[in-house]
Amino acid sequence: MTSSDDGLHGRLGSRDGHPSWPTVSRVLRIVACHWRVLLVGSIMGLAVALLWLAQPVLVSLIIDRAIIGGDRRLLIILAGSMLGLALCILLLEALRSYCLALAGERVVRSVRVMLFESLQRQSHGFFVRTSSGAISSRMWNDTSSIQATVGVAFYDVFGAVVLLISALVFMFIWSWTLALLCVSVLPLILGASIFLGQRNQKIEGRLLSHLDRLVAFTFERLNINGFMLINGLGYDKRLNSKRFADGASELLKLSVAQSMTMQSVHITLVVFPILIAAIIYIYGGSKVIDGDFSLGKLTAYIGLSAMLASHVSSLANLNANFMGSLAPFRRVFAWLDLTPEIEDSEDAVDLSSIQGHVSFKDVSFEYETGTPILKDLSFQIPAGQLIALVGPSGSGKTTVTYLMLRFYDPTSGCIEIDRHDLRNVRLASLRQHVGVVPQENIVFNATVKENMLVAKPDADDEELIASCKAAQLHELVEKLPHGYDSMLGEFGYRLSGGERQRLAIARVALKRPSVLIMDEPTSSLDSVTERAIREALMPLLRESTTVVIAHRLSTILSADVVLVLDEGRLVDAGRHDELLDRCDLYRRLFQEQFAAQSKDRSDV
């Protein structure tokens, strides 16, 4: 479990003691959005309940009037009526099942869409702290639990309640004393159901939390990145197998505990009808012997009691299942209620266009309180300039780019673009004008074209091809089996590292942003390809304000200004030759990182 998940569980408080009604009421509000199809299903359920009530009455008439009365014609009519009754119930049950299954699927779809939208709104920090496996588990495992419960709940509850009440009415009409004896055992059944339902809720919460951890572990180990790391370092796979086996064993224990809890509910409910039948046979049978009760009514009464027991059992079982489902509901709701760390202010403005003048004014920042990453950082980037960031590892270069993208807000100070504080600019508006090429080039498991259109969804084929040509990618794509419609595989592993880098460059070339942020986009390319791409992208670099975390000497030499960072502070700024003369840190960095590249200046 990630730190995000642990913190989330802490905010929920004691999972076991969390009040149920706020969760239940929220579930009902979501369900109410689909009231039309639920209403149709409920009407069908009511009709089925009323038809079931006719069966004991027909049984009573068949025994007392047709069989004992010796009326063959009436026997045939009543038996035929029972057959017609069964066919009507079959048809209405099918319609009810369809409506309620559709309603359940729609509820789950709504929850999944809301959860997806909520997660899309979250900030960079959330995804740093939360594993992909945990997100996948919450999105699919938890909502699947909801799906099963919603379907069963609305399938059983309406018809069960109507039949329960109607059966009790008939039972009291025929014999109120016998009815009271039958009803006297109901509190015991309902009490056991509530107790076992609460136990199921506790186990379900623990089971889902453990499943999160196991899914996250599996996701990390069983993907292409995990394969490369484990096999590349010769990691003992038996350790992975042991960790997975231990986790699966704990999951087994929790699953067995949950299964036994539900079996306890089942056993209790199996005994309940036998208990009621025994009461009816002893008391009702005595009345038949005394002549105070007809055999037909006794038989019908047994049918009603079976119906009563069946639907009390359904409601009790439903309670146990529903109580268990509150755990996944709460987990989903907890993420639906997450407030993004970075969001639009109430008076945020849209920027229809920008020139790209960027200012850092006394900016300080820390990921964790008490551990500053940037300290009183101030500099100006005039519109259209190419700025290179250099500095030792941990000097804050990447953090500067994160703040420009507003993945985080400064702890103090402000960052402006065209004199607008980024905190007062709508995030969607800001990111329309900004493009980024990260060091780890991200490729979706989709086609080349779909990966490109992430940058500009409305781009036509001519724009797409021109951007790929600028990134020296077009010829490679043309050689793929399906050209631009070729799938690239998970994490783009059908492409080499350099090819993924070209794809990232092609994407940003397609977008043509006003502010361009790059973590040395040509570091994985050979010098010839790098020079060709740089020449093709030069018009874009000159029309954009460009900030590059520099790893190549060619980038530094072409930069208008080089910013030298160390321990979160700006040490110096200037052109390459100027910094070599006056800045000791830059001179040392040059010797350690760039001097070897200066032996071959043909790639500049």
Q: Model confidence over 83-94: pLDDT tens digits?
A: 888 899 889 888
Between the CA of residue 156 and those of 41, 101, 598, what are the distances in Å? 11, 12, 77
Tell the residue number behind the tokens 């409305």, with chain if given. Answer: 458
pLDDT for res 317: 66
Give the confidence band of 417 by pLDDT, cuts at 50, 70, 90.
Answer: very high
pLDDT for res 364: 95
pTM: 0.73
The answer on pLDDT for 60 being more than 70 is: yes
Average pLDDT over residues 521-550: 72
According to the CATH classification, is domain 346-433+513-604 in 3.40.190.10? no
114, 336 contact by CB (below 8 A): yes
555, 388 contact by CB (below 8 A): yes
For 234, the 3-state DSSP assignment is coil
What one-character DSSP code corresponds to residue 395?
S
The answer on pLDDT for 179 being more than 90 is: no
Give the confidence band of 6 by pLDDT, cuts at 50, 70, 90.
Answer: very low
Query: Which of 580, 583, 559 is closest to 571 using CA atoms?
Result: 583
473, 502 contact by CB (below 8 A): yes
Tell whether the torsion through CA atoms of 76, 80, 81 and 86 is positive or negative. Answer: positive
Q: Model confidence over 458-486: pLDDT tens digits?
A: 889 999 999 888 888 888 888 888 889 98
Q: Model confidence over 281-295: pLDDT tens digits?
A: 777 788 778 777 777
Query: Which of 28, 30, 182, 20 is closest to 111 using CA atoms?
Result: 30
CB atoms within 10 A of CB 121: 13
CB atoms within 10 A of CB 460: 9
Average per-residue pLDDT in the chain?
80
Which pairing describes strands 420-421 and 412-417: parallel, antiparallel, or unpaired?
A: antiparallel
For 419, the 3-state DSSP assignment is coil
Q: How far apart are CA 262 and CA 316, in angstroms?
A: 11
Average pLDDT over residues 417-431: 92
pLDDT for res 325: 67
489, 407 contact by CB (below 8 A): no
Q: Tell me if domain 346-433+513-604 and domain 442-512 are identical in fold.
A: yes
* Two tokens, residue 131: 């594993």
Q: Which fold has domain 21-336?
A: ABC transporter transmembrane region fold (1.20.1560)
- Is the model more confident about 6 or about 528? 528
pLDDT for res 308: 73
Report domain extents, the chain: 21-336, 346-433+513-604, 442-512
The answer on pLDDT for 221 being more than 90 is: no
Strands (E), 288-440: 358-368, 371-381, 386-390, 412-417, 420-421, 434-437
Give the confidence band of 556 by pLDDT, cuts at 50, 70, 90.
Answer: confident
- Is the model more confident about 228 or about 483? 483
How far is C-alpha 432 from the chain's CA centre? 26
Give the confidence band of 269 by pLDDT, cuts at 50, 70, 90.
Answer: low
Q: Which fold has domain 442-512?
A: Rossmann fold (3.40.50)
* Two tokens, residue 244: 């997975």
What one-character DSSP code corresponds to residue 71?
-
Q: How far apart are CA 369 and CA 347, in angstroms?
A: 28
